[in-house]
Amino acid sequence: MTIPPTRTAKPGPALAAWLWLGLALAPAGGIAAAVPAQTAQASPMAQLADHAITIDFGADRLDVHFIAPGIVRVHFEPGRHAGTPALVLDPAAAPTHFAQVRGTQNADGASLASAAASVHWDRQHRQLRIDDARQRTLLRIDVDALRHGKLKAQHAADDALYGIGGYNATEDASAGMLRSGEQVASAGEQGHAGAPFVWSSAGYGVLLDSDGATFTLQPGTIGTTSPRKDTDVYILLGTPTQLFGALAQLSGHTPLFPKWAMGFTNSQWGIDQKELLQIVDTYRAKHIPIDNITLDFDWKAWGEDDYGEFRWNPTKFPDGPSGALKKQMDARGIKLTGIMKPRIHVDTVEGRYASAHGFWVPGEEVSDDYFSHKPVKNIDFDLPAARAWFGKLAVKYGYDDGIVGWWNDEADTTGSDTEFMNMQRALYDSQRGVSNQRVWSINRNFWLGSQRYAYGLWSGDIPTGFVSMAGQRARMLSAINVGAMQWGMDGGGFKDGTPTPENYTRWIQFGAFTPIFRVHGELGQKRQPWVYGPVAEKAATAAIRLRYALIPYIYSYEHTRRATGVGLVRPLLFDWPDDPNVRNDVDSWLFGDWLLASPVVVQGQTAKDIYLPAGRWTDWFSGKVYEGGRSIRLAIDSKTWSDIPLFVRDGAIIPTRPPEDYVGEQPLTQLDVDVFPAAQRSTFDYYDDDGSSYDYEHGAYFLQPLSAQRRAHAIQLELGAVSGSFKPALRFYLLKVHGAAAASVGQLKAFADLDALQHSGGEGWARGHDRYGDVTWVRVAAARAAHITIAM
């Protein structure tokens, strides 16, 4: 008989304190223990050695140990045979035993505890019990199910579950982020993201080391099956952000994208060199910021012999092969990126080479390419030799001649979860082998582990229209929930015609608050702002310029994602896991730590209800203040579409700069920093580097923490010590401290107003008013530690 699981805190404050120190074990309790049918049979004893619990089942063995304070590995080895790790795990970071644990053993079982969690082998019930640092039982794992190649884990019935998979381009996304029932973990097709990973805002995650898996989620139970005979499971414990930090530790951290990738990308299908130059020059003449033009089929000599899959089309782009076009684009501050396909024309030099070396996907028939109408087959990128060959050709004929990033398309049709990952892996490894310039890519599906290879995801060939646009919110947040932090979409929609001016404008505003900001349309479709009339152009241009003003803020989260596993965008439930109102909220999300974005996705909308989580929120544009923990109604401009619902979180520290026509157009010598001090100390880690190389891997970066705290009659500002060897052009921070009418600012000189302060050429302060009310401007030297008190 199974007792319904519940979560309870256990008695004993002394034991709780010991658990935090890793010196004691949590007593039994929490989720009620199930008494399985096997209790009548003899239960094996556990051995406690080498910081691990080992349970001997004769020919089989179960090994349980910590590999970090919040990560427990549970590995069942039938016949004592350990399988080969799947690509979801980082091959460069083999898990090890974490030694800072305390173990005990007795006739009833054995236990291990770290400072963050404990695991107990319950010999009577043949279960592993996983407790958190507060002595709450989170999971009970049936050991006999492990012996049959399955995972069965009990949890509290009301736990919200996330992860496993997202949505493809045409799939109904109305279920939002929550996951239940049978869920197949796969890379999928057309913008799908997948991982053998399920997690709960209650404080735990379950990662299978397996390429492919099936999850069965029922109230109170997580069940899994996978192709592996040796069941290898990682239990992650902590807050949502801690879970994704642990996931990055296991699956691999992301390299940084180039800084230009923080800006705006216009993908285009159906142009030649002349029209390319016209488009770029129009952007520049109108001062609409843009950094990247991504070219579709047009750039390649697709279908031609002698490496047409990889080289420039000299008819459409006569200056491409010589590198002259690259120089013209460099002069305009534009990067060129190009499409890559996973298939090769069979009757070409490279096709014959692939045939001779067995590089084709096994069992795949020859088919006619829809664009060239010539026979093609797909390369099997799971083969290391095929990756090396393909990547070398792409670098030789594409990268070396001006294509600086990769738009990988259609590698999601072979049925392999790792085909797309390994296609980009081929390009990443090859480019890094010959260049120190950062790799950039977007790809049409995602499998956990792909992020190691400078891997972005876009949501597939989506339709235009408001319904399609609204559905991208759940697609984005669900992809992020499986680790696909670098996400983007075809702004404006790829197919089904031309968006209306209103739809285009709202799509640009939405895209400005996603990790990868781009537009695209099918053959002949244009997605430039001026195509949609003056009203749309004005509103879209304002959104693009706002994105560029926020580049210092956005780029700092490149570092944050690499360091912590959590990127620029995340669901609200990451920061408010106990708020039932946000457990499936896809209408809004956090953009960095300090901004909440809730773009308009409904045609003709005149008012929008927006839920603001607990805390104090300020409208970015109007300065109006709202208390959170409730929904507000915001008036929406349905005529000129000039508004973006955007809110500043209390405690915010947000660096900005004057917008540029492209990233790096002008050196940044003064960084403007909006500060909204709260009673609780807040910190923002401002990050910079050269924006283009991998020198940051060797310490060539600039990192300075900026902190603020409001006290009774003062505001404390702190500039922390700088780390890293990179020396930026930055000389000053202009701190805009909102809600502060200073009487004095330390020993700094007072100026009559902001203009006088700005023209002083040095440090000082002034006070005045802006749309947020009272403000004190403090100009201080950058790259130097400082403590500043604003007395009021």
Catalytic residues: 409, 412, 461
Place of tokens 């057309």: 190
Per the rule left: phi > 0, alpha: psi between -120 and 50, beta: everything else, 135 is left
**Per the structure block, which two tokens stand in for 517?**
């900001």
Distance CA 681, CA 32 (A): 40
Distance CA 605, CA 646 (A): 16
47-53 long-range contacts, CB within 8 A, separation 24+: 47/105, 47/110, 48/103, 48/104, 48/105, 48/110, 48/112, 50/97, 51/97, 51/98, 51/99, 51/101, 51/103, 51/112, 52/97, 52/112, 53/103, 53/110, 53/111, 53/112, 53/119, 53/121
Distance CA 68, CA 237 (A): 10
Rg (CA), the chain: 28
In this structure, the dihedral spanned by the alpha carbons of residues 252, 294, 462 and 476, taken in order and rounded to 10 degrees, is 30
Place of tokens 């499409």: 339
First to last CA, the chain: 66
Q: Which of 274, 345, 338, 277 is nearest to 308 (CA)?
A: 345
Question: Cβ distance 317 to 273 under 8 Å?
Answer: yes
Distance CA 173, CA 176 (A): 6
Place of tokens 């839920």: 611
Per the rule left: phi > 0, alpha: psi between -120 and 50, beta: everything else, 80 is left
H/E stretch holding 147: helix 143-147
Residue 181's DSSP bridge partners are 217
Residue 517's DSSP bridge partners are 264
Residue 120's DSSP bridge partners are 111, 129
Question: What are the residues whose beta carbons fall under 8 Å from the beta carbon of 747, sequence distance 6 or more?
Answer: none
In angstroms, how far is CA 603 from the centroid of its own chain? Answer: 29
H/E stretch holding 364: none
DSSP string, 717-770: EEE---BSS---S--EEEEEEET---SEETTPPB-SSHHHHHHHSS-EEEEEEE
Q: What crossing angle do the helices spanning 349-356 and 384-397 adopt, rounded to 10°?
A: 160
Distance CA 600, CA 594 (A): 20
